[in-house]
Chains A and B, each alone.
Chain A
Amino acid sequence: MIGHLRTWPIVLALSILSAPLVLMYAYLFIDTVTNSPPRSFIPNEFTLEHWSFLWETRPGRPSIWRVTLNSLLFATSTSALVIVVSSMAGYVLSRLNVPGRAYFLAGVMVLHAFPAITLIVAIFLVLQVVGLYNTLIGVILVKAAIDMPLGIWLMKGFYDTVPWEIEMAGIQDGASRFTVWRKLVLPQVKPGIFALGLFAFLLGWGEFILPQVLAPSGNAQVLSVYLAGLIADDNNFDMNLFKSVGLFYMMPVLILFFFFQNRLMNIYGGGSKG
């Protein structure tokens, strides 16, 4: 009980401090399903008109479902690419005696520290030359490449915790190096792969700059670009529509977090507990 008395001032202070945030989120939601008279915070009618973007496509804009599908494709593909490459590269860097391993690791680290935005002009030119500008594939490749250094380092860290003897035992048991990796080592780093996949998915889902620059229009547009298009449109500016789309955009992320938050924490734990 004493503990309770001691902590209530802190709880109060925190409540007051976070009230603006809570209000912001509350209004984000409330505004998408109501209308308020001008200059008032109190809504006076319930409406679904702000969500109408779900069933009717606005003139001059792609269908929301097309864009959502693009976002989904973009996030899952980058995540899959990052998982596949990192889980292999991480293993090689952790276990095999590759020449120049230390330099490679340092190089990967530098790449990770490099702000992707500084490369964007060069990437833009490259994509144009190879004909992947304004395609989903092009931007997927770029995004995956940018996420990969972190993924490789992370997976190397997970592999480093797997005891060396397990692999030797597998080899003695007659398994090839690849089978050992597939059947014995990979299962030990499953938590890492899962966390990395989720992480890469969320990064892909939230990515804005790359698609905006490299695949801005038409069939390749993703949700973040669509959303930005709304706010940039001076002719028919609609704040509530913007909020509705924003909420729609956030939903998958919230759901993922809700279900997988524990697994996601693993990325910081880095252990082989699963």
Chain B
Amino acid sequence: MRILLDKFSKSFGDVRVIEDMTLEIKDGEMLALLGPSGCGKSTTLFAISGIHKVTGGRILFGDRDMTGVPSQERNVGVVFQSYALYPHMTVADNIAFPLRIRKLPEAEVKRQMEEMANLVHIEALLNRRPAELSGGQQQRVALARALVRRPNVLLLDEPLANLDAKLRLEMRSEIRRIQLETGITAILVTHDQVEAMSMCDRIAIMNAGQIIQIATPQEMYRNPRTAFVAGFLGSPPIAFIDAVANNGMLTVEDADIRLPVPPNAETPPDGTPVIVGIRPENLGRDGDAPVRGRVSFVETQGRENLYDLTLANGRVLRSIQRVSDDVSLNDEVEWRVRSDQLFLFSQNGERL
């Protein structure tokens, strides 16, 4: 079901957390709400679920205005970070709880509960209690419980934060598989950009209660609207250096670097101070604009090496390259930047 937040605001007392946010989630889509801690992701989620009353604006499910409707009637499935399973009930009873509340006939409850258990692969655990499950299994139960009553929308608040790295990888694809199989509209809250990029159809990136950009992961990576977005996506992260526009070129003072203006940006007037963003994969052996510096850090990641390149003015660029033995720490090197892949930002972080 399509979800629309229409000029939605939320404040706690005097603290304005969200102001005039408009956000549309398309039917059947999985949207990531990505942003740093405290930017209002959970607040947005809780407003959709009805746990928080909104202070302004409307929330629509399909065409129905849900703003004043109590949580119980919104039919929203929520997976909490702590899973919030009912500890005194078995897995089967946990999943069946929403159906029993709805007073479905017991045979129907059992059928739907088992169907859902099959979907999330926990058929063998139905008689256990939550305390006897691993984190990943608890997560699956929480998903099954949220999905069993076919909610209008599924909300996931940092569902992977409590899992270890390997399980996180597994559950990432599992959650996506289950979402695709059920075709449910879902919102995933996370502050992990890898999670957002790998699981979701679109990403809404938030900062300080505002949506900065909404786009597909690829589009957002290729075309960030602000320096904040560019800095949030990508691992290892993008590096920024200050430069000045000069005769259609960008010069970095006291580092003897001249970069052409990338085709994706308009040439700024001479003397304009700008910020240049260079992603680590765009600095390396091949490219068109030379950059000289000293290798100040080397980290191997197996297939690739990650280097820090300290420029003459002390600023640091990052580069990621195939592993090779010809560069070692403190070497003076001349690498190249793919200038068509640069991003240009104004001093206040807006894309030029």
User: Which bracket fits the contact residues of B?
Assistant: 20 to 34
Are A188 and B88 in contact, CB atoms less than 8 angstroms apart? yes
Residue B87 at the chain A interface, CB threshold 8 Å: yes
Docked CA distance A184–B97 (Å)? 10
List chain B residues, Cβ under 8 A from A188: 87-88
With both chains docked as a complex, state the minimum distance between the C-beta of A39 and any C-beta of chain B, in angstroms: 62
Identify the closest chain B residue to A172 (Cβ): B78
Known contacts A168-B80, A184-B86, A188-B87; is-contact A173 B98 (Cβ 8 Å): yes
User: Is B77 a contact partner of A172 (Cβ separation < 8 A)?
Assistant: yes
Contact (Cβ within 8 A) B72 A166? no
Give the A-B pair count, Cβ closer than 8 A: 55
How big is the A interface, by class? 10 to 19
Q: For A165, what are the chain B residues with a Cβ–Cβ distance below 8 Å?
A: 80-82, 84
Chain B binder among A24-32, A147-155, A174-182, A257-265: A174-182
Closest to B142 in A: A169
A273 to B76 alpha-carbon distance, docked (Å): 31
Enumerate B72-95 residues with CB–CB distance to A below 8 Å: 72-73, 75-78, 80-82, 84-88
Q: Are A168 and B78 in contact (CB under 8 A)?
A: yes
Q: A163 in the interface, Cβ–Cβ < 8 Å?
A: yes
Most buried by B among A175, A176, A188: A175
Q: How far is the CB of B334 from chain A (nearest CB, A)?
A: 55
Nearest CB in chain A: distance from B202 CB, A: 24
Q: Which residues on B sit within 8 Å (CB–CB) of A272? A: 87
Q: Is residue B71 within 8 Å, beta carbon to beta carbon, of the partner chain?
A: yes
Set A168, A173, A176: member contacting B97, Cβ < 8 A = A173
Interface members, chain A 175-209 (any B CB < 8 Å): 175-176, 179, 184, 187-188
Residue in A closest to B78 when the chains form the complex, CB atoms: A172
Which residues of chain B are within 8 angstroms of A175 by Cβ–Cβ distance? 72, 97, 101
- B72 and A163 contact, CB distance less than 8 A: no
Q: Which A residues are CB-close (under 8 A) to B102?
A: 174
Chain B contacts for A172, CB-based, 8 A: 49, 51, 71-72, 76-78, 146
Q: Does A166 lie within 8 Å of B149, measured CB to CB?
A: no
Residues on A with beta carbons closer than 8 Å to the beta carbon of B78? 168-169, 172
Tell whether A171 is near chain B: CB-to-CB under 8 Å. Answer: yes
Decide if B86 touches A168 in the complex (CB within 8 Å): no
**A163 touching B101, Cβ below 8 Å:** no
* B82 & A174 in contact (Cβ 8 Å cutoff): no
- Also in contact, A166 and B145, with CB within 8 A (given A172-B76, A173-B98): no
Assess the B101–A174 pair: CB atoms within 8 A: yes
The residues of B that contact A166 with a CB separation of less than 8 Å are 84, 86-87
In angstroms, Cα B136 to Cα A28, docked, is 60
Is the CB–CB distance between B71 and A171 below 8 Å?
yes
Given contacts A168-B51, A171-B71, A173-B98, contact A163 B84 (CB under 8 A): yes
* Complex Cα gap A184–B130 (Å): 14
A193 → chain B, closest Cβ, in Å? 13
Q: Which residues of A contact B81 (CB under 8 A)?
A: 165
Q: Knowing A168-B80, A169-B78, A187-B88 touch, does A174 contact B149 (C-beta < 8 A)?
A: yes
Contact (Cβ within 8 A) A174 B98: yes
Query: Does B145 contact A173, Cβ atoms closer than 8 Å?
Result: yes
By a CB distance below 8 angstroms, the chain A residues around B98 are 173-174
User: In the complex, what residue of chain B is closest to A164 when comparing beta carbons?
Assistant: B84
A168 to B82, CA, bound (A): 12
The answer to whether B80 touches A174, judged by C-beta atoms less than 8 angstroms apart, is no
Partner of A168 from B73, B84, B87 at Cβ < 8 Å: B84
Residue of A nearest to B73 (CB): A174
Within 8 A of A (CB), among B236-253: none
Contact B72 A171 (CB under 8 A): yes
Per the bound structure, the CA–CA distance linking A170 and B100 in Å amounts to: 12
Closest to B88 in A: A187
**A-chain residues with CB within 8 Å of residue B86 when the two chains form the complex:** 166, 169-170, 184
Bound form: Cα–Cα A163–B87 in Å? 11
Chain A positions within 8 Å of B97 at CB level: 170, 173, 175
Asked if A174 and B72 sit within 8 Å, CB to CB, the answer is yes
- With A and B bound together, what is the CA distance between A272 and B149 in angstroms? 29
Of all chain B residues, which has the CB nearest A168?
B51
A179 to B76, CA, bound (A): 18
- In contact, A174 and B75 (Cβ under 8 angstroms): yes
In Å, the complex CA distance between A166 and B81 comes to 11
Verify B80–A169 contact, CB threshold 8 A: yes
Asked whether A176 and B72 contact (CB < 8 A) given A168-B51, A171-B51, the answer is: yes
Which residue, of A169, A170, A171, A272, has the highest number of chain B Cβ atoms within 10 A? Answer: A169
Question: Which residue numbers of B lie inside 8 Å of A, CB to CB?
Answer: 49-51, 71-73, 75-78, 80-82, 84-88, 97-98, 101-102, 145-146, 149
By Cβ-Cβ distance, the 10 closest A-B pairs, closest first, are: A165-B84, A173-B98, A169-B84, A187-B88, A165-B80, A174-B101, A171-B71, A172-B78, A174-B72, A175-B101
> Can you list 25 A-B contacts with CB-CB less than 8 angstroms, sorted by A residue number?
A163-B82, A165-B84, A166-B84, A166-B86, A168-B51, A168-B78, A169-B80, A169-B84, A169-B145, A171-B51, A172-B71, A172-B72, A172-B76, A172-B77, A173-B97, A173-B98, A174-B72, A174-B75, A174-B149, A175-B72, A175-B101, A176-B72, A184-B86, A188-B87, A272-B87
Given A163-B82, A172-B51, A184-B86, 12 more A-B residue pairs with CB atoms under 8 Å apart are A165-B82, A169-B85, A169-B145, A170-B86, A172-B71, A172-B146, A173-B98, A174-B72, A174-B98, A174-B149, A175-B72, A188-B88
